[in-house]
Structure 1
Amino acid sequence: MAIATLGTVVLDCPDPVALGRFYAEVLGGEIESDGADWVNLVGATGTALAFQAAPGHVPPKWPAPDDSQQFHLDLMVDDMDAAEKQVLALGATVLEADDRSRGFRVYADPAGHPFCLCAN
């Protein structure tokens, strides 16, 4: 029997509103905030996401054998080329997307968190 269920995945970042808007554009939904330090993404399908202000935030490094990526999100898409264009236009950066034969490509969100676009 499980001890708990997964509620919300919370990402530390320098600007919760900006990062919330990025993920609202990528995943759908809207952001809700009762202040500048915490933002919830609501109305998106899947596990809930929230964004928390972290003064001095240092983005994870990927890939780096001497540093941890901390975590990454796998985002399922039907058209990887179209999704890539859209996330780059929203401010994502490419981390590893040269091998077009694989079923995934790796990017960083505007706060530096790695995420993968994965073929559905």
Structure 2
Amino acid sequence: MAVATMGVTVLDCPDPKALAEFYGAVLGWQVDVGDEPDWVELIGPHGRTLAFQEAPGHVPPQWPGNEHPQQFHLDLDVTKDRLDEAERQVLALGARLLEGDGGGKRDWRVYADPAGHPFCLCAC
């Protein structure tokens, strides 16, 4: 028997609303600002929720490296034929490319969101 069930995944950041809007645009999910100024949720299909919590003094991960390790990252699936277009879109929304796909040798590319958290666009 499980001890618990998985609830919400939470990202610490300096501006919860701005980061929720970034991922909302990437995923097509709805931003729910709610009543707490330091907590914003992103509501997705099938009860999925991604939340953003204000963290004063937030130090973003530095990828690659171990001084400020990533600790975790999000893998976001994109069909292989849409990978280049998805890259253009996330860059236009404020992401920055950290590592490409090695000229097509790998099925993923690594980016940093506007708060510095690494995430990958993975070809599926």
1:88-109 residue CA offsets vs partner (Å, 9 max, x unmatched): 0000001101513210000000
The equivalences for 1:20-59 within 5 A come to 20-33=20-33, 34-44=35-45, 47-59=48-60
1:56-99 residue CA offsets vs partner (Å, 9 max, x unmatched): 10001111044421110000001211110000000000110151
Gaps of 5+ in 2: none
Q: Is the 8 A contact 2:60 2:68 kept in 1?
A: no
The equivalences for 1:1-120 within 5 A come to 1-33=1-33, 34-44=35-45, 47-78=48-79, 79-97=82-100, 99=102, 100-120=104-124
Gaps of 5+ in 1: none
Give the TM-score normalised by structure 2.
Answer: 0.90
Give the TM-score normalised by structure 1.
Answer: 0.92
The runs of at least 4 aligned residues of structure 1 exceeding 2 Å deviation read 43-47
Q: How many residues align?
A: 120
* Percent identity (aligned): 63
RMSD (Å), alpha carbons: 1.5
